[in-house]
A and B are shown apart, each in its own frame.
Chain A
């Protein structure tokens, strides 16, 4: 019994200590740095100012932010459109095939996503596999220029983040009580109505969770636009990185990063609200 309480104390201390050292302190430092002044040759001067947060409303930064949100949103929608049927089919397979299918979804995680992004260059470039296939099939006569365009960034995001959409969707579709679908059919609902009025609402938690898991990383994955987009389109992630490493304007970088954290926090709050509503709507 005594051992167990020591273990409990150890686990609690470890968790709280971990969160304090690696989450709370860094975030507080970032928040505070945002209120300080840029310094040279030191990075920050202890002079209080609201300038950095005010500069976030500068149209130039705002445009970058909107571009990022738009790209992340498009990625989420595309992942959802591809991921939903995929997860649905996966959940309807025999258990053995299902395990195999899940394995195929997970295998790419064994390779670092940065390396997989570099691999996409070999696929998307003018002499790459994708163009070779299109030419061979006779679909195009001239290679399509994909690499270093926004389309390539979009493909990179969707490819990297799709599993994050599929897995939560799969979990909620698999749990779906098939008798409810059958009941809807028996009561005369067509496939369309069954899907939109029974299937879709019941898998909503999976849709929301998947969308969050895709949308939030898509806002900050700076290396995908750098590598596949030719470093032309600047997203919030690149912007923050540049403020810290190139421009050495730490306070402004910190302010931008706080904004991103706040936006993500708000989205998680919305997620929690939706989740609560969905749970309440479910029969006990």
Chain B
């Protein structure tokens, strides 16, 4: 028994040496959507500040939320939830307050992206990028003009040629739009109709991918894809036969935001990183590289004209008529999740 105690003591001592070494580690843990932050920007930040950055990616708000929730707001220093998840996570006390005193570059933000309804006075979030969800069509394989809205995806000629994102809000939101409802509808009867409508499209889908849907389009594995504007921009940049269609039912807009989880280990470095990303030249570089729109007003003049005037990234106002922002669903979230789970299990 004594021997075992001694052995245990040796092990604990060894562990004791490992733990402080961990705590002293000043790496900034960034948890962000895949294909959303250029490596170059991260490298520049590390070169300038000496703060190392560890990048982990996710492909849906649900996954990010589940991990942050499970870890009790620890483990990561930066997360990038979409608007509706900012309000949800703030309400569940998972986000640390933003210390504006440490973000002098906050003044670069466009006024229209400040003090938004999902986070009054930017108490917990700083807008990072925004974009739209629309339809990309390879006009080499599908005649131009055949697809003008979500309803056209149910065309039997497209069966087996379709890509949808592996994303709850997009899939059910799309079906709600086809039925003439809001993408934020909370009426259980409407959600069920949307579920049935989405389900009827499922056999026609060839791939579900929200990581990098442009790949399947560029490889011609699929001819039509529902995707984020940035993915469409990159695909269009590589092959101009791939065009982006703003669905006539009304396009979905979203804003992703830089947030600091409640119990982040390096809140100070996290602020330094957010402030760095708010620099006009950095924001411009990110927008240019990733193909999403920046809410940074000071960055706009720095963007090359072909980016600033690109209708996929910065759509003209008339394309955005009838557009909607996704908002927090409140208690209807659970109903969405139940139907989403059934869609995914094919029930």
Contacts and interface: CB of A to CB of B under 8 A. Distances in A.
Interface of A: 5-6, 9-10, 12-14, 17, 40-41, 43, 60-61, 64, 121, 125-127, 145, 147-148, 230-232, 234, 239, 242, 244-249
Interface string B29-59: 0000000000000000000000000000000
A148 B7 contact: no
Given A9-B6, A43-B69, A234-B346, A246 B208 contact: no
A231 B11 contact: no
Contacts of A125: 219, 221
Contact of B4 (A13, A60, A239, A246): A13
Given A10-B11, A17-B11, A230-B206, 5 more contacts: A10-B10, A13-B4, A13-B11, A232-B207, A249-B341
A246 B341 contact: yes
B7 A231 contact: no
A246 B69 contact: no
B205 A232 contact: yes
Contacts of B205: 230, 232
A248 B333 CA distance: 12
Nearest to A145: B221
Contacts of B6: 6, 9
Interface stretch (B20-28, B60-68, B125-133): B60-68
Interface string B195-236: 000000000011111000001100111000000000000000
B207 A245 contact: no
A118 to B, nearest CB: 10
B345 A232 contact: no
A230 B66 contact: no
Nearest to B206: A148
Interface of B: 3-4, 6-8, 10-11, 60, 62-63, 66-67, 69-70, 92, 166, 168, 205-209, 215-216, 219-221, 334, 337-338, 340-341, 344-347
A40 B69 contact: no
Contacts of A246: 60, 62-63, 66, 168, 337, 340-341, 344
Given A9-B4, A247-B341, A126 B207 contact: no
Contacts of A242: 341, 344
Contact of A248 (B66, B220, B345): B66
Contacts of B11: 10, 13-14, 17
Contacts, number: 88
A234 B345 contact: yes
Contacts of A147: 219, 221
B34 to A, nearest CB: 13
B206 A41 contact: no
B62 A9 contact: no
A245 B10 contact: no
Which of B8, B334, B345, B346: most chain A CB closer than 10 A?
B345
Nearest to A13: B7
B337 A248 contact: yes
B280 to A, nearest CB: 36
A199 to B, nearest CB: 44
A148 B221 contact: yes
B340 A245 contact: no
- Ranked nearest first, the 9 interchain pairs of A and B with the lowest CB-CB distance are A230-B207, A231-B208, A9-B3, A13-B7, A10-B7, A247-B341, A9-B7, A60-B347, A245-B63
Contacts of B3: 5-6, 9
A247 B340 CA distance: 8
Nearest to A249: B341
Given A13-B4, A242-B341, A126 B219 contact: yes
B167 to A, nearest CB: 10
Nearest to B88: A41
Contact of B337 (A5, A60, A231, A247): A247
A64 B219 contact: no
B66 A244 contact: yes
A231 B209 contact: yes
Contacts of A14: 7, 11
A60 B346 contact: yes
26 contacts: A5-B3, A9-B4, A12-B4, A12-B7, A13-B4, A13-B8, A17-B8, A125-B219, A126-B220, A127-B219, A145-B221, A148-B216, A230-B205, A230-B206, A230-B209, A231-B166, A231-B208, A239-B345, A242-B344, A245-B63, A245-B67, A246-B62, A246-B344, A248-B62, A248-B66, A249-B341
